[in-house]
């Protein structure tokens, strides 16, 4: 195998806020997040939650996405109706039977504040996850349970804090049945030690580091991420978002089987885009058999057209472990892509520029 396509010591000079250390310490964040979840409050109502809406945007919403995806394939949780809302207004169907969670790392996300304010008028079964800000103030004024998480990170770097307190909330509130609780607890026991090993692997820049190797293959390309529409759909979204925000690199994606009915035909024109595209498959043993066959067929078709398909599977005996294995690889891959692109992975200048425009309106 060839050596890495960049000199890390030189490239890392652009990492002004040391995201490298944040990623390296991610297993420690998971440990703390699990503890926060164990000690956190639940909904004030004693009614067992069955309908759950998570309000959030960007990195603060991804925890809700992952809970939705995880619950949909988890025995003992597939009875739940879980939705994620990414806009100013909550859906019209939200009523007193819904449990609503506002997830905003900063506590100042305007879309989430708007939705949270509306939800409080519809149901008394509300809760928030935040470091403070306006969301925290609303919770204090309305005596709404608040799960407090540590400040000082970019929201996208706080994935453990946005997911595991939610997972523990599902367990403690009775939303998850016994099978789902046992599976989730076993997955956590497997996950943290595994990510501690992966942290050591991914933080050393050499040709044996899968994140470095993949970043070099994606360098100068437009990754197009494909996964099943069930299970790994939220992982797919996270991969795109991390590449876009950390590496400042275009990334797109879609889901099978739907992609087979339209997007597959687009891998021909315009040539300037197609020549830059690189397909990335995220696969899991829980993918439906017909979807597995579709991935095999899609791989053959794309390779016949000259594309080098990148196939990635998470490791672990439990689906939750495999999800986070893939998520951690996305974090590190996008970080090394930032090094190759010679951009600081932490700042998000165009997002901030947009916020400045909106602040004047």
Query: Is 355 part of the annotated catalytic residue set?
Result: yes
> Whole-angstrom Cα distance, residue 108 to residue 105?
8
CB 103 within 8 A of CB 112: yes
Pick the catalytic residue: 111, 122, 198, 245?
Answer: 245
Give yes or no for a contact between 147 and 127, defined as CB atoms under 8 angstroms apart. yes
Q: 155 near 173, Cβ under 8 Å?
A: no
In the three-class reduction of DSSP (H, G, I as helix; E, B as strand; rest coil), residue 148 is classed as strand
CA atoms of 30 and 195, how far apart (whole Å): 9
Q: Cα torsion for 133, 149, 334, 9, to the nearest 10°?
A: 100
- Tell me phi and psi for residue 100, to 5 degrees: -115, 130
Q: Are strands 277-283 and 222-228 parallel, antiparallel or unpaired?
A: parallel
State the residue for tokens 């307190």: 165
* Residue 322 in tokens: 């495999």
| 292 is an active site residue | no
261 included as an active-site residue? yes
For 50, the token pair is 């069955």
- The span from the CA of 280 to the CA of 283, in Å, is 10
Q: Among residues 2, 178, 261, 304, which one is catalytic?
A: 261
d(CA 333, CA 107): 29
Cβ neighbours of 216 (radius 10 Å): 19
Intra-chain end-to-end CA distance of the chain, in Å? 53
Helix (H) or strand (E) holding 226: strand 222-228
Active-site option among 142, 200, 311, 355: 355
Extract long-range pairs of 34-37: CB within 8 Å, 24+ residues apart: 34/164, 34/168, 34/188, 34/192, 36/147, 36/148, 36/149, 36/161, 36/164, 36/165, 36/168, 37/147, 37/164, 37/165, 37/166, 37/167, 37/168, 37/169, 37/172
**CB contact at 8 A, 44 and 96:** no
> Where in the sequence numbering do the catalytic residues fall?
245, 261, 355
């Amino acid at each position: 195998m060839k050596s890495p396509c960049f000199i890390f010591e030189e490239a890392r000079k652009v990492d002004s806020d040391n995201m490298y250390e944040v990623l390296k310490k991610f297993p420690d964040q998971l440990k703390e997040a699990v503890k926060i979840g164990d000690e956190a409050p639940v909904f004030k109502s004693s009614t067992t939650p069955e309908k759950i809406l998570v309000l959030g945007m960007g990195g603060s919403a991804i925890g809700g996405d992952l809970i939705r995806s995880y619950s949909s394939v988890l025995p003992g949780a597939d009875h739940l109706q879980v939705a994620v809302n990414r806009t100013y207004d909550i859906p019209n169907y939200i009523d007193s039977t819904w449990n609503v969670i506002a997830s905003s790392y900063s506590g100042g996300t305007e879309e989430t504040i708007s939705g949270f304010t509306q939800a409080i008028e519809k149901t008394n079964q509300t809760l928030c996850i935040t470091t403070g800000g306006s969301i925290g103030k609303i919770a204090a004024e309305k005596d709404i349970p608040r799960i407090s998480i540590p400040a000082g990170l970019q929201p996208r770097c706080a994935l453990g804090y946005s997911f595991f307190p939610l997972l523990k909330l599902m367990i403690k509130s009775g939303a998850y049945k016994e099978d789902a609780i046992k599976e989730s607890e076993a997955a956590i026991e497997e996950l943290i030690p595994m990510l501690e090993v992966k942290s050591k692997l991914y933080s050393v820049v050499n040709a044996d580091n899968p994140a470095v190797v993949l970043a070099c293959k994606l360098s100068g390309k437009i990754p197009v991420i494909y996964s099943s529409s069930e299970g790994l759909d939220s992982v797919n979204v996270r991969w795109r978002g991390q590449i876009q925000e950390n590496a400042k690199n275009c990334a797109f994606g879609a889901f099978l089987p739907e992609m087979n009915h339209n997007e597959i035909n687009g891998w021909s024109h315009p040539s300037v885009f197609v020549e830059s595209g690189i397909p990335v498959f995220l696969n899991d043993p829980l993918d439906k058999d017909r979807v597995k066959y579709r991935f095999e067929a899609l791989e053959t078709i794309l390779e016949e057209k000259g594309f080098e398909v990148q196939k990635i599977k998470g490791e672990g005996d439990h689906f939750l472990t495999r999800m986070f294995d893939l998520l951690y690889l996305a974090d590190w891959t996008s970080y090394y892509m930032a090094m190759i692109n010679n951009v600081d992975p932490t700042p998000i200048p165009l997002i901030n520029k947009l916020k400045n425009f909106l602040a004047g309106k």
